Chains A and B, each alone.
Chain A
C-alpha cells in the first residue's frame, strides 16, 4: 500500500493533534491485542509514525472481569518522529469496570474515557471491587466520559446474523475499534480488507467483525456524546518501504539474516519462557532459510545445543529470560573457556526469581557482565528500540564470529513486545559476515591466536585437525590440558584482553546536544526513546542537556572516558537499582546520579524530565 504524504480531507470538527496515545483495555479474552494491532496498522498505513506497547496479565485467562485479568494495548501515533509508546493516555477504551479501574491512573486529566457502560452492572462492579458505579458517582469528573452501550449496540448491529450471542459479543472489540477510528478520523477500509482476508475461511465471522467495525464508526458519527474528533496528520518520513516490527520479531529476523549473510545454517534452541517465546515461534516458521529450531528439555539443554552447534561450525543462538539466563551461566562459562561463537539473547523481565514475568526490567546487567564463576569476560550488547533488536543481533554475530566468543544480548520485555516502524533495509546492502574455518593441518594449533587474540575455528570433519577442547584450562597455543600456574594466569589475561580489544572494533559513543556541559544523560537499552525525547524537549526549552546512549556494554566504546569527562554531572537512566551507573563509576571518576526505577514499567519521559530537573537543581 502506498501512502501519499498529503493531509486527508477533514471537516471543521476535526481538531489536529501532533500526536495521540490510545489505550485499549479489557479482559484478556476480549481481543484487545488484536484491535490494538489493527489501530497501529491503520495509523502506520495512514503515514503516522507509530510506537506500541502491550500490557498482558501473567495469567492466560484470569477470572473474567477481575482486576488481575485486564489486558491492555497502547498505541502512540504522531505526525512527527516518536521514540516511545507515550507516557500518558489521551483516550482509554475500557471494555469493563476492571479495565477502567486499573488503567485510569495513566489517563491524562481531560483525556477521553470511552467506556462500555453495559459492563458496569452489579456483577462487573463487584468483580472490579468498585463500591459504587464510577460512571455515576462523579469520580470521573476530571475526564471526558463517553458512555457507550457497546454490548447492546453491537448486538443490534449484528441482528439477523446466524450467530449465537457469545459469538456476537466476541466481535465487540471491533465495535470499539470502529469508535476509535471515528474519533481519530482513521480510514476503516484497510481494516475491512484485513478482516476479509484474515477470516476468509469463516465468512460469517468476517461479516460480523466487519459489521461491528462499521457500526462502531457509525455510532461515533451519529452520537451526540462527542462533538470533537481528532486528526493526526502523516509524518515526514524518509522514503522507502516500512513495516511494523516488535523486538522479538526483529530479533528473529536478525538471527536469520546474520546466518544468511554468512551463508551458514542457523540453530536456535530455546525453552518456553515469557517474554522470549516469540523468537522461537518466529524462527520455527523460517525453516526454508535453513533454520533449525530446537525446543529443548530445559534452559541448560538449549544453550548446550547451541554450544554443540557452534562446535560443529554453524550459527548458533539461544534465547531466554532472567530465570533461564541464570541456569545457562555455567554453559556460557564453558563457551568462554572453549572460545566458541554463539549468541545468547536474554529478554529481561522483572526479577529476582519469577518476579514479574510479563513486565519489563533491566536488572540482568550485572548477571551478563559478571554472573559466571571464574574470570569470565563476555561481550554484552543491548538494543535501544524494538527494531534495533535486528541490528544488535547482526552486531552480536559479527563479534561472536570475529572474536570466537559467546555474546550476551540484553533485550527487554518492553522492547520485545513493543512495536515500531522499521525501515526495511536492502538485503544485499547488509554487511556480510565472513566465516573462515581453519583447514591447514601444518599450522593448526587449537589455541594459536591471531592478531585479535582469536583462536581458529576448526570444525569436526576437517581431516588432520582432530583436537580436543573442554572446560579444563588449556595450554596457550597447543590446547593441551595443563595446571601450570603461569599458563593459567596467561590464559586468563589473554581471554580478558581479547574481549577488551573489541573496543577498537566498535563505533564510538555519539552525543546528542552539546558535547560538553553541565549534564549528560546516559541510557542503555529500552530507556533510549524516553531519554532521547526528554532531552530533546529540554533543549527545545533552552535547557542544555546532552544525551548519550550505550549499545555496547562490554567492552565500552573507546571514547567513553572522554565523553563522560566533558560533563560536570552524569545522570544514568535505567530500569534497575543503579547497575549501569555503578559499573561506570567503578571505571571512571564521575559524579553520577541515577534515574533508576523498578516498577515493571518502562521509564516515561516524565520520569526522566523529573530526574533531569532534580539533578540540575541539586547542582545549583
Chain B
C-alpha cells in the first residue's frame, strides 16, 4: 500500500479575510503550518471543519478556507461533538486557547477527551487573556502580575497536558510556535490519530505577555531547556546532547551523560504505555526545574465515541428491522374504537 501522496499544488486555503493578529503573533506560524498540512491528509477540502471559541486564536477559522464556525466562549468542543456525531466523515478541528479551553470551557475540554470523540483540539497557550487586553489566565505562572493581578496571582496554573492525561486522553502532544518543523510533525500526528487529539501549542503573546515561555526565550537557550520526546528513545537534550532525564523513583532528575549516568540509565519514552502515569510525570516537568518536554506524550488506541454511537444505531437498525413509524405509533397498549 502506498502512502497518501502529497498534493503537488496545495490548495489555496487562504480566505478573503486578512488575519487581524498583532505583528509577530505566534498564531501566524500555526496558521501557516495548518495550511501546509491539510492538503497532505488526503481529505477533500470541503470535509474540513474548524470550530473555535472566543479569543485571539479562535479567529483562526476565518483565515482558513474550509467550513468554519467561530462559536461562543469555551463551547467549541460541544459544537464539534454534535457535528462529528452528525457527520462522521468530516475532519473536525477545535481551535481554542488557555482561557477558552481551560477556564470557561474546561468542562467541555475534559469531557470531549473522556469520550474520545474523533476531533482534534489545538490549544494555543499564551498564558494570558490577549483579546481582552491582558488579564491572567488559568495557565499564568503563580505570582504573575497583570492588569487583573497587580499584586501577583495567587492561583496555581493548570497544566494542559496533565489535565488532558487525567481526563484519559488517547493523544496528547505539545509543540512551540517558533519551532515550525517540530510543530508540523506534531500536528500531523494529531491529524492522523483516531480519537480526541489534544495539542498544546506554546505561543507567545508579544503584546500582553512577551516571553511567556522562558523555556523558549531564544533558540540558543531552548536546547538546554527543552527535551524532545521520541517514542522508544531515551530522553536526551542539550546543545551537545549530553544531558538526559533519569527517573529516581517517580521523580525525574536531570543527569549528565557519562558523568552521572550512562545512556542505559535514562528514561525511555513510551507514548503507548499502558498507564498514563509516565506521561503524567513528564507533563509535570517544568523549566527551570527541568527541561520542558515537547512532542507526543501519549498516543494510544481506544474506540471513538462517534464510532460507537454509530455502532449502536446500526446494531439497533439491524436488530429491529426497517424503520416504520406506524409500528412505533402502535407500540404498546393500543385499542380500537369502532
Contacts and interface: CB of A to CB of B under 8 A. Distances in A.
Contact of A467 (B67, B324, B332): B67
B49 A460 contact: yes
Contact of A256 (B67, B315, B328, B332): B328
Contact of A300 (B75, B328, B329): B75
A140 to B, nearest CB: 36
Contacts of B330: 241, 243, 424
Contacts of B82: 267, 269, 294, 304-312, 316
A312 B119 CA distance: 14
Contact of B313 (A256, A292, A462, A468): A292
Contact of B69 (A4, A289, A470): A470
Interface residues of A, number: 77
A239 B335 CA distance: 11
B46 interface: yes
> B54, B83, B89: which has the most chain A beta carbons within 10 Å?
B83
Interface stretch (B58-66, B180-188, B208-216): B58-66
Contacts of A239: 336-338
Contacts of B309: 292, 294
Given A267-B86, A288-B317, A305 B79 contact: yes
A517 interface: no
Contact of A461 (B75, B87, B313, B334): B87
A470 B84 CA distance: 18
Interface string A285-323: 011111110101110111111111111111010000000
B334 A470 contact: no
A218 interface: no
B65 A253 contact: no
Interface in A200-242: 237-242
Interface stretch (A41-49, A87-95, A487-495): A41-49
A33 interface: no
B320 A311 contact: no
A300 B317 CA distance: 30
Interface in B39-87: 44-49, 51, 54, 61-62, 65-72, 75, 77-87
B1 interface: no
B207 to A, nearest CB: 21
Interface string A529-571: 0000000000000000000000000000000000000000000
A480 B17 contact: yes
A397 to B, nearest CB: 15
Nearest to B79: A308
B79 A460 contact: no
B293 to A, nearest CB: 29
A308 B51 contact: yes
A512 B82 CA distance: 44
A471 B336 contact: no
A290 B65 contact: no
Nearest to B44: A463
A465 B49 CA distance: 12
Given A460-B87, A466-B66, A468-B70, A47 B79 contact: no
A466 B328 contact: no
Contacts of A466: 45-46, 65-68
A84 B303 CA distance: 49
Contacts of A41: 333
Given A267-B82, A312-B86, A334 B71 contact: yes
Contacts of B44: 463
Interface string B149-192: 00000000000000000000000000000000000000000000
B8 interface: no
A463 B16 contact: no
Interface in B17-38: 17
A187 interface: no
Given A242-B336, A301-B111, A311 B46 contact: no
A4 B330 CA distance: 19
A469 interface: yes
Interface in A310-361: 310-314, 316, 330-331, 334, 338
Contacts of A44: 333, 335
Contacts of A426: 326
B323 interface: yes
A34 interface: no
Contact of B323 (A238, A241, A290, A467): A290
B86 A242 contact: no
A2 interface: yes
> A44, A425, A459: which has the most chain B beta carbons within 10 Å?
A459
A239 to B, nearest CB: 6
A234 to B, nearest CB: 9
A309 B44 CA distance: 20
A301 B48 CA distance: 22
A288 B312 CA distance: 9
A234 B51 CA distance: 58
Contacts of A472: 70
> A240, A241, A244, A269: which has the most chain B beta carbons within 10 Å?
A241
Contacts of B338: 2-5, 239
A260 B323 contact: yes
Contact of B78 (A238, A300, A312, A481): A300
Contacts of B54: 471
B250 interface: no
Contacts of A242: 334-337
B285 interface: no
A191 to B, nearest CB: 11
A47 B336 CA distance: 9
Contact of A460 (B47, B62, B329, B337): B47
Contact of A308 (B46, B83, B334): B83
B321 interface: yes
A257 B70 CA distance: 32
A468 B61 contact: yes
Interface in A380-416: none
Closest A-B pairs by Cβ, 7 of them: A304-B78, A308-B82, A470-B70, A305-B82, A312-B86, A287-B316, A308-B83
6 contacts: A44-B333, A291-B313, A460-B67, A460-B90, A463-B46, A466-B46
Interface of A: 1-5, 41, 44-45, 47, 237-244, 253, 256-257, 260, 265, 267, 269, 286-292, 294, 296-298, 300-314, 316, 330-331, 334, 338, 424-428, 430, 459-472, 480-481
